[in-house]
Amino acid sequence: MDRLGSRQLDQFRDLGYVAPLDVLSPERAMVLLDAIDDYLAAEAVLDTFDLTDPILIREVVGDDGGKRFEYADVPNPAPTVFPFFFNIWRHDDRFREVAFDPGPAVVAKQLLGADEVLLMEDNIVVKEPHTGPVPFHQDYSYWPLDRPSAVTLWIALGDMDAARGSMQIVPRSHLLGERLPVSFGDGRSLMAEHWPHATEVPTAPDADGHELHSYEFTSGQGGFHDAMVWHGSTPNTSYLRRSAYVIRYVVAGSIWQGGVRMPYDDIDCAPGEPLTESHFPRVADAASSCTCTMGGASVAHRARRLRLHLWRPSRRYRATRWRRGRRCGGRLHRTARRRPAGVARRPRRR
Ligand X SMILES: O=C(O)CCC(=O)C(=O)O
Q: How many residues in total does the chain contain?
A: 350
Cα distance between residue 187 and residue 95, in whole Å: 30
DSSP state of 59: E
CB of 151 to ligand X, least distance (A): 11
20: three-class secondary structure by DSSP: strand
Report which residue's Cβ sits closest to ligand X.
233
- CB-nearer residue toward ligand X: 152 or 173: 152
Q: Spell out the alpha helix ranges (H) of 175-297.
A: none
One residue of 124, 125, 151, 284 binding ligand X per CB under 6 A: 125
Cα distance between residue 274 and residue 255, in whole Å: 4
**Cβ–Cβ < 8 Å for 24, 220:** yes
Chain residues 241-280 in contact with ligand X, contact rule CB under 6 A: 244, 246
One residue of 80, 110, 149, 152 binding ligand X per CB under 6 A: 152
- CB-nearer residue toward ligand X: 134 or 201: 134
DSSP 88-155: GGGT-HHHHHHHT-HHHHHHHHHHHT-S-EEEEEEEEEEE-TTB-PEEEEEGGGGS-BSS--EEEEEE
- CB-nearer residue toward ligand X: 246 or 269: 246
Residue 143, Cβ neighbours under 10 Å: how many?
25
Binding-site size, ligand X (CB under 6 A): 11
- CB-nearer residue toward ligand X: 202 or 271: 202
Residue 163, Cβ neighbours under 10 Å: how many?
13
Chain residues 95-124 in contact with ligand X, contact rule CB under 6 A: none
One residue of 134, 190, 198, 252 binding ligand X per CB under 6 A: 134
Among 273, 242, 203, smallest CA distance to 37 is for 242
CB of 165 to ligand X, least distance (A): 6
Helix axes 6-15, 102-112, angle to 10 degrees: 60
CB of 273 to ligand X, least distance (A): 26
Chain residues 174-233 in contact with ligand X, contact rule CB under 6 A: 231, 233
Interaction of residue 170 with ligand X, rule CB under 6 A = no
Interaction of residue 154 with ligand X, rule CB under 6 A = yes
Site string for ligand X, 291-330 (x = CB under 6 A): ----------------------------------------
CB of 311 to ligand X, least distance (A): 17
The contact set with ligand X (CB under 6 A) reads 125, 134, 139, 152, 154, 167, 231, 233, 244, 246, 350
